Structure 1
Amino acid sequence: MVHDTLAAFPMSRAARCPFDPPPGLHDLRDQARLTRVRLWDGSTPWLVTRHAEQRALLADPRVSSDATRPGYPFPGPARPGADKIGFILMDDPEHARLRRMVTAPFAIRRVEALRPAVQKIVDDLIDDLLAGPKPVDLVEAFALPVPSLVICRLLGVPYADHDLFQSHSRNLISRSVPVEERNASFRALHDYLSRLLEQKVTRPGDDLLSQLVARVEAGELTLADAAGIGVLLLIAGHETTANMIALGTLVLLEQPDQLALLRDGEDPKLVAGAVEELLRFLNITHTGLRRVALADIEIAGVIVRAGEGLIFANDIANRDPDAFPEPAALDLTRDARRHVAFGFGVHQCLGQPLARMELQVVYSTLYRRIPTLRRATGLDDIPFKNDGQVYGVYELPVSW
């Protein structure tokens, strides 16, 4: 059959090039702007590889995020209730209605007001690093605690429960965990957030979960929907940023000239630009953004039929030479603001202002305070997250 000859997706990265998209994606991008690929279940959605087509289609209202529609290209066997993980797998107007309920805390002005608190979190954790033994796993001691502490503060989740929500989050974004175990982790997280919401009915606080409780009491949300939004924000609020902190640090340790720009520079604009370039270069979304066509769409000489799946491999789009000259080079002075690491269109990442601010604080502080930071093991010995939907490293032993 024809689909048996198609490239399987997702693809494997080259062992010697852990920071680059899979070689097969480079080949497909050079061959066509849209091409068919074969998924785990034998389905053959379209893979969109180029920057311009990704932005065009992600902004097209004829492209749906609704995971309940036939043809949606799931990355693996679907979880029961997968459509209830917040609003991420919904379309407007319901997507917009729910998203508006949690937009305010992630507005740029509100996020900037959190910067001093995030700076203190980062400085305190670095103090602990400097006072503790060496070598140390930067993931466990720094990269994971920073965004976890921040999102817990924002949501009103006790950080004391971080082992619980971090372990279940890892299961949910791993492709190697059996589906039954992922289902159990989803239910456990959903139940955990439901209990927290119920507690905030009588003991509300100045946090986002308490704001969701008010929506439930006003009849605008069910408790189950509020818990689903909580699951989405809790997972997205720590997993993605934690992986960017660790992976960004590792790639900078491999390129000391670029690291020196951050360590020795004090210009906030340079730091902000460096964050955008690292987001472009690394793009930790590992298995693409998933959509399905609602109508026939003609683009780049191809007709995508209604009901056909679409996968946006934003890692390879962020290496598109038409959008970014010399895209294989990490250049912290580059203007990389048009990257698609956060997606594009109405579904682009809600928390991107918070992620940017956290990364700016981390990248402008860690290497300045520990100027001799280095890997404490060989690059080949570092375990990369090749089995996840979010890319990063499981451990990063460092010393100084």
Structure 2
Amino acid sequence: MTRTIPYGRQSIDEDDIRAVAETLRSDYLTTGPRVAEFEAAVAGRCGVAQGVAVSSGTAALHAAMHALGIGPGDEVIVPPMTFAATANCVLYQGGTPVFADVDPDTLLLSPAEVERRITPRTRAVIAVDYAGLPCDWDALRAVAGRHGLALVADGCHALGAEHHGRPVGSLADMTVFSFHPVKHIATGEGGMIVTADAALADRLRIFRNHGITTDHRSREASGSWRYEMVELGYNYRLTDIQCALGLSQLAKLPAFLERRRAIARTYDAAFAGTAVRPLARPGGRLHAYHLYVVRVPRRGEVFASLRAAGIGVNVHYIPVHLHPYYRERLGTGPGLCPVAEAAYEEILSLPLFPGMTDAECATVIAAVLGAAQGEPT
């Protein structure tokens, strides 16, 4: 049986296992010191003061919408080329996601399309650093500033990316990250919101803990049993076990990023001048390469051929507004975001992860070029 080369996977070593084991032997498995350490480490990596760890990237998005006070009657502009959670988080709060189309070369949210979708009900914009390439944050900030909108970065693909020398995490009012195993660092499941705004961070921390103002550890430290629920929150906490793994993984992030970028350079050279077309990468932006996305002819046939050959390609994403739930709930459908819809018919995500070997890269390249040219794999 042919071994499948996945499109992404975690890289775990003995240091990671040792960090988790040490925490398992400690006094705290959750709401303990590793959480604050991990929050400070990620926030510091992003150049901001506040980090709030939560149970997933989706929880991070939901918490961000709550912290902004999004509710019924409010609109939030989102891109269609993303995972559904980017738009779902607006619905969780009773708001309405409004889809704005993407740039045809990068598939990043178009600032001009954002401006075209703004109405008196618009409260915020969520922009996605798709595949790991930062959006045009200067242009998005200008649009948000003109209209008094909050700006949220869905940076789940982009930990370690930079925009004109500034790290993702410092470019929006809040930035959310995911620590799912296929992302840059893994905590199993997990996420975080980073921000420079202490008031927003306070709201996020209360929301992740049932809307309660204190947690077990802080009450124990103060010698008090008293707590108060001040709003309706959720249990979105991340455990010390996961944060210990996250801290160990974060130390390896520079090496992980360099390997991802090296694989991308190998792909770039191999596909230059062929029918396999990588997405554009504008100058001044340092790519984090969560995904390596290409456009190929006859995408459906190429996908099937590569999967049959053990190449774990994937498609990111079905445009959110085309999902049945959105069609039925919001009345969206084909024609709303034509650029994203056209791109969806061509795009393919190729295997890319730090543990990928040079031999596996060569296997992927040969198979992709062969399939794109219609050769049997």
The answer to whether the superposition gives a TM-score over 0.5 is no
Higher strand share: 2
Higher helix share: 1
Per the normalisation by structure 1, the TM-score is: 0.22
Greater relative contact order structure (CA < 8 Å, 6+ sep): 1
